[in-house]
A and B are shown apart, each in its own frame.
Chain A
Amino acid sequence: MLTIALPKGRLQTPALERFVAAGVVPDEEPGASRKLIIPAGRDARYVILKDQDVPLYVERGAADLGVCGLDQVLESNADLMVPIDFGFGKCRLCLAAPRESSVTAELGRSLRVASKYPRLTAQWFARRGVPVDLITLSGSVELAAVSGLTDAIVDLVESGRTLAENGLAVVGEILEVSARLVVNRAAYRLKVEELLPLLEKLG
């Protein structure tokens, strides 16, 4: 029996399509009910999670494998196998600042930065030797820079429209993101007979 962590939100439909194409068909449409666990035949089941919780569920073995963005994989610092890049869910994790501001790619001074990604943000600034006053928010991160709470923000940028509409511009790129398959370390060894045929079809 394989337990597959499926993220809610924009990754869910393309992720499910890939698994269905690989033969793991859910007994009912996720979202058709409020069920959190959806069987898929006798040998698999889906658990429906927020994408940022996927790495933790898989690392701790509550799910054997799952799908989430590379941003969540790295931000969680979870100890996982990441054998497949699905290629969908593409976006970039960027540093952005108000268009008129003096924040540039050559960061010299201490900055105040808001983000939902404290770990990746701290790491990126540390590598550049720039001290940073990090404020962790849970949503509407753009507002932090617009309202003057911070000098800049670090957030996912897909088309750049949200940034542009709020008078922000990309100052630096931190990470190219796409959806990844994550697999629990022990499951990768202990359930290899079940996993390998599935990985081949997904890859």
Chain B
Amino acid sequence: MDPAVPLPGTQDLLFDGARRLRRCETALCEVFEKAGYAEVIPPVIESADVFGTEAFRALDRSGRLLALRSDFTAQVARIAATRLSGVSPLRLYYRGSVVRRDRESVLERLQAGCELVGEPGADADAEVLALAAASLQALGLKQARISLGSTGYFEALARAAAVSERLARALHDAVDRKDLPTLRSLCEREVPPGQARDALLMLAQPPRPRAQAAELLARAESLAPGEEARAALRRLAEVLSRTRVAELEVDLGEVRGLGYYTGLVFNLYAPGAPRPVGGGGRYDTLLGRFGDPRPAVGFSLDLDALVPLAC
């Protein structure tokens, strides 16, 4: 390792790069503050239990496992569940960098994001979606897309089809990659015929613009195998009806998100970026890990991807 060069996956930001980042952060903070969100600044290192295995970990002198921050949402959930326990609703935002272990070494990413704690309803989902859309607008991004799905729907289907954990993972991966050939062969070989199977096969369909979403959701509901799946679809329809965000499209195969998402999930795309520039979702069980089970929903933005696109 050459000490004269930052690690691959990290960088020095100088002059114009630093100025642009701060300008974007300021624009975003203004949007967040105006929407009633307050900033929290969690520590950059804490107990490894807070984060997943993607965190960069080390032992301290007494043998406790610590980790660099790999996820703001888990930290905000910890704060909300402990120091702010019982205060609902909470509107919190953050900015800073996360560090994750990567294929080769480590990866540092600059983020900003919002969490709305203590509100279980579709209104809260719609509020967070609208705030994510407003954030992209504040950065001057045009023609962005927000792809809306539901991990809750996928999980309801997997449960209705009574698939094993291994098969559920394989199905999830095929759906996430729109890999219809693999999805079809997995379903034909390993999922018993029935409504759950038909509904699973529908998940590899392409996304629908907002105007056609109602039709898609209605067709999915006619196939939905049980109350849990139908409820997840109705929730999506309800969220759609409560937001005027034009960039929305519905994709029942949009299942990618953090491991703890429980319902609504969305990813943000912007022209010029080959990967999502942000994403979010509902996580109704994460606060419970810290002793204060409360529903929550939020999103984060990838500033490394967004700052070069912002004007």
Chain A residues with CB under 8 Å of B269's CB are 186, 189-190
The answer to whether A20 has its CB under 8 Å from any CB of chain B is no
Interface residues of chain A: helix, strand, loop or mixed (majority): mixed
Q: Mark A190-203, 1 if CB is under 8 A from B, else 0.
A: 10100010010000
Bound-state Cα–Cα, A79 to B173, Å: 11
Contact (Cβ within 8 A) B274 A59:
yes
Bound-state Cα–Cα, A61 to B269, Å: 13
Query: A190: which of B145, B177, B179, B204 is its contact (CB, 8 Å)?
Result: B145
8 A Cβ contacts from B145-202 to A: 145, 147, 177-182
Chain A residues with CB under 8 Å of B206's CB are 188, 192, 196, 199
For the complex formed, measure the closest distance between the CB of A127 and the CB atoms of chain B, giving whole angstroms. 12
Chain A residues with CB under 8 Å of B274's CB are 59-61, 184-187
Chain B residues with CB under 8 Å of A80's CB are 177
> Which residue of chain B is the closest to A203 with respect to CB atoms?
B180
Number of chain B residues whose Cβ lies closer than 8 Å to a Cβ of chain A? 23
Contact (Cβ within 8 A) A81 B143:
no
Q: Mark A157-192, 1 if CB is under 8 A from B, else 0.
A: 000000000000000000000000001111111101
Contact (Cβ within 8 A) B181 A189:
no
Q: Mark B259-279, 1 if CB is under 8 A from A, else 0.
A: 000000001011101111000
Query: B275: which of A81, A84, A183, A185 is its contact (CB, 8 Å)?
Result: A185
Chain A residues with CB under 8 Å of B270's CB are 186, 190
Number of A-B contacts (CB under 8 A): 53
Bound-state Cα–Cα, A52 to B214, Å: 41
Q: Mark A80-92, 1 if CB is under 8 A from B, else 0.
A: 1111110000000
Chain A residues with CB under 8 Å of B275's CB are 79, 185-186
> Which residue of chain B is the closest to A196 with respect to CB atoms?
B206
* Contact A83:B180 (CB < 8 A) given known A189-B249, A190-B269, A192-B249: yes
Residue among B145, B181, B269 facing the most chain A CB atoms (10 A cut-off): B181
Residue among A77, A81, A184, A186 facing the most chain B CB atoms (10 A cut-off): A186
For the complex formed, measure the closest distance between the CB of B55 and the CB atoms of chain A, giving whole angstroms. 20
Q: Mark B107-142, 1 if CB is under 8 A from A, else 0.
A: 000000000000000000000000000000000000
Contact (Cβ within 8 A) B249 A83:
no
For the complex formed, measure the closest distance between the CB of B254 and the CB atoms of chain A, giving whole angstroms. 9
For the complex formed, measure the closest distance between the CB of B5 and the CB atoms of chain A, giving whole angstroms. 22
Bound-state Cα–Cα, A18 to B177, Å: 22
For the complex formed, measure the closest distance between the CB of B304 and the CB atoms of chain A, giving whole angstroms. 14
> Which residue of chain B is the closest to A195 with respect to CB atoms?
B206
The answer to whether B207 has its CB under 8 Å from any CB of chain A is yes
For the complex formed, measure the closest distance between the CB of B34 and the CB atoms of chain A, giving whole angstroms. 28
Contact (Cβ within 8 A) A189 B178:
no
Contact (Cβ within 8 A) B178 A82:
yes
Bound-state Cα–Cα, A188 to B147, Å: 11
Chain B residues with CB under 8 Å of A183's CB are 178
Bound-state Cα–Cα, A189 to B274, Å: 11
Contact (Cβ within 8 A) A83 B178:
yes
For the complex formed, measure the closest distance between the CB of B191 and the CB atoms of chain A, giving whole angstroms. 19
Chain A residues with CB under 8 Å of B182's CB are 82
> Which residue of chain B is the closest to A62 with respect to CB atoms?
B274
Bound-state Cα–Cα, A103 to B124, Å: 60
For the complex formed, measure the closest distance between the CB of B188 and the CB atoms of chain A, giving whole angstroms. 14
Query: B207: which of A84, A85, A187, A189 is its contact (CB, 8 Å)?
Result: A189
Contact (Cβ within 8 A) B143 A190:
yes
Chain B residues with CB under 8 Å of A60's CB are 274
Bound-state Cα–Cα, A80 to B58, Å: 32
Chain A residues with CB under 8 Å of B178's CB are 81-83, 183, 188
Residue among A61, A83, A84, A196 facing the most chain B CB atoms (10 A cut-off): A83
Chain A residues with CB under 8 Å of B273's CB are 61, 186
Contact (Cβ within 8 A) B179 A82:
yes
Contact (Cβ within 8 A) A186 B276:
yes
* Contact A83:B179 (CB < 8 A) given known A61-B274, A189-B207: yes
Contact (Cβ within 8 A) A189 B145:
yes
Chain A residues with CB under 8 Å of B249's CB are 189, 192
Contact (Cβ within 8 A) B276 A84:
no
Chain B residues with CB under 8 Å of A79's CB are 275
8 A Cβ contacts from B197-242 to A: 204, 206-207
A-B contact pairs, 25 of them (CB 8 A): A60-B274, A61-B274, A77-B103, A80-B177, A82-B177, A82-B179, A83-B178, A84-B181, A85-B181, A184-B274, A185-B274, A186-B269, A186-B270, A186-B275, A186-B276, A188-B206, A189-B207, A189-B249, A189-B267, A190-B143, A190-B145, A190-B269, A190-B270, A192-B207, A192-B249
- A-side residues, CB < 8 A to B, are 59-61, 77, 79-85, 183-190, 192, 196, 199
